[in-house]
């Protein structure tokens, strides 16, 4: 193996190991969780909470609301072992990357296991979403889409405001259509 190929392989691995060390240095009470990794359910708020907040607007009756909460509670209970397994796999990756000379094969195998666990968790969430969606009428689903689109637009507005001026107004962004 040439020096350039070896450097191209080892440098990213060392950077990952360094990041793992920095993440592990975060305090256990960090908002991101022990070790700096986010160990909560990723993504948007739970669908049952969103539906609850907009129940009147969607015209959800009490029976449908109860069924939605039951499905969501069952899904959370079913997801807990998957979340725990994923947390354990991430902890295993931390342990591998903290080693002086981690095996590239072991790291890649662990990454594959993490990917499978994340996919399983995502599929479980999709099943729940589809089951809840099946309880809604076509009109309620259409209204829910409008609610999500409005929420997404507000989120983008806040993100743009937080980022300051848009990219075309920033120095050095001539390619984005702005002037220097």
- Which of the four pLDDT bands, split at 50, 70 and 90, describes residue 101? very high
SS3 letters for 19-74?
HHHHHHCCCCCCCCCHHHCCCCCCCCCCHHHHHHHCHHHHCCCHHHHHHHHHHHHH
- Using a pLDDT cut of 90, give the percent of the chain over it: 48
> CA-CA distance, 110 to 93, in Å (whole number)?
6
Greater pLDDT, 148 or 170: 148
Per-residue pLDDT tens digits for 51-83: 888 899 999 999 999 999 999 999 999 999 999
Q: How far is CA 65 from CA 53, 60, 127, in A?
A: 11, 6, 18
Q: Which residue has the tokens 């996919």?
A: 119
> CA-CA distance, 69 to 123, in Å (whole number)?
19
DSSP class of 101: S
- Using a pLDDT cut of 70, give the percent of the chain over it: 66
Average pLDDT over every residue of 1-17: 46
> CA-CA distance, 84 to 168, in Å (whole number)?
44
CATH class for the region spanning 44-136: mainly alpha
Domain ranges of the chain: 44-136, 137-180
Per-residue pLDDT tens digits for 41-56: 445 567 788 888 889 9
The half-sphere exposure of 11 on its side-chain side, counting CA atoms within 13 A, is 6
């Amino acid at each position: 193996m040439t020096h350039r190929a070896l450097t191209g392989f080892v440098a990213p691995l060392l950077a990952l190991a360094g990041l793992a060390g920095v993440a592990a240095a975060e305090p256990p009470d960090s908002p991101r969780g022990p070790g700096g990794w986010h160990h909560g359910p990723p993504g948007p708020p739970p669908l049952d909470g969103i539906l609850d907040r907009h129940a009147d607007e969607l015209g959800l009756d009490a029976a449908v609301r109860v069924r939605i909460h039951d499905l969501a509670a069952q899904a959370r209970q079913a997801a807990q072992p998957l979340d725990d397994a994923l947390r354990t796999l991430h902890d295993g990756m931390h342990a591998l990357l903290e080693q002086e000379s981690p095996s590239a094969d072991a790291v890649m195998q662990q990454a594959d296991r993490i990917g499978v666990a994340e996919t399983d968790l995502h599929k479980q969430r999709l099943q729940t979403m589809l089951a809840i969606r099946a309880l809604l009428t076509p009109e309620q689903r259409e209204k829910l889409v409008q609610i999500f689109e409005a929420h997404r637009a507000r989120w983008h507005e806040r993100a743009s405001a937080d980022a300051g001026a848009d990219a075309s107004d920033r120095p050095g962004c001539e390619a984005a259509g702005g002037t220097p």
